[in-house]
Amino acid sequence: MEFDLIDKKLLMLLQEDSKKTTKELSNKLNLSVTAVYERIKKLEREGVIRNYVALLDRTKINKSFVVFCHIKLIQHTKEYLNTFEHEVTQLTEVLECFHVSGDYDYILKICVSGMEEYREFMVTKLTNLKHIGSTHSSFMISELKNSTQYQML
């Protein structure tokens, strides 16, 4: 899909605050409310806008212990990959999972309340997944940047 300058500006505004009304957006874009509404609907239909969410403060919901867990599978067969991917996506503690190249096969972003909860997660959930050969965990010391915005302009 090709984006014109107005689409790009609209997407940037929605990424900043998706609760802005079409009237507020139309004022910023110098378009009619109807034109903004139609553009948003088209972006939704095309799958450019997948969802609208609330971003939570991890510290206020007691999930500020962030772990990046590197996973190596015992084999790289299609069956092993599919099984692992299906099972890991069911774990609520795992916020993100990436299939990567290099020394490890996957990197997981896990958010829990602290080391005790992470240990419990490892012992009762993660290490029970099939086909895991090894894991390596790194713990976040501080967060320098956390953005959900894609630069459009």
pLDDT digits (tens, 9 = 90+) for 19-53: 999 999 999 999 999 999 999 999 999 999 999 99
Residue 43's nearest CA partner among 74, 73, 8, 78 is 8
- Residue 84 CB coordination number (10 Å): 20
Q: Please report where in the chains the tokens 């139609």 appear, as a residue.
A: 38
Reported pTM: 0.89
> Which pLDDT score is estimated for 152?
85
Are 73 and 84 contacting, i.e. CB atoms less than 8 angstroms apart? Answer: yes
Helices within 97-139 (DSSP H only): 115-124
C-alpha of 16 from chain center? 16
Residues 6+ away with beta carbon under 8 Å from 56: none
Q: What is the pLDDT of residue 93?
A: 98
Please give the Cα distance from 150 to 96 (Å, whole number): 17
For 88-145, the pLDDT digits (tens) are: 999 999 999 999 999 999 999 999 999 999 999 999 999 999 899 999 999 999 999 9
Tokens of 53: 């969410």
**Which two tokens mark 75?**
């084999």
CB 21 within 8 A of CB 30: no
Bridge-partner residues for 96, per DSSP? Answer: 109
The mean pLDDT value for 76-80 works out to 94
User: How many other β-carbons are positioned within 10 Å of the β-carbon of residue 112?
Assistant: 20
Those residues with Cβ within 8 angstroms of residue 121's Cβ, 6 or more apart along the chain or in another chain? 91, 93, 110, 112
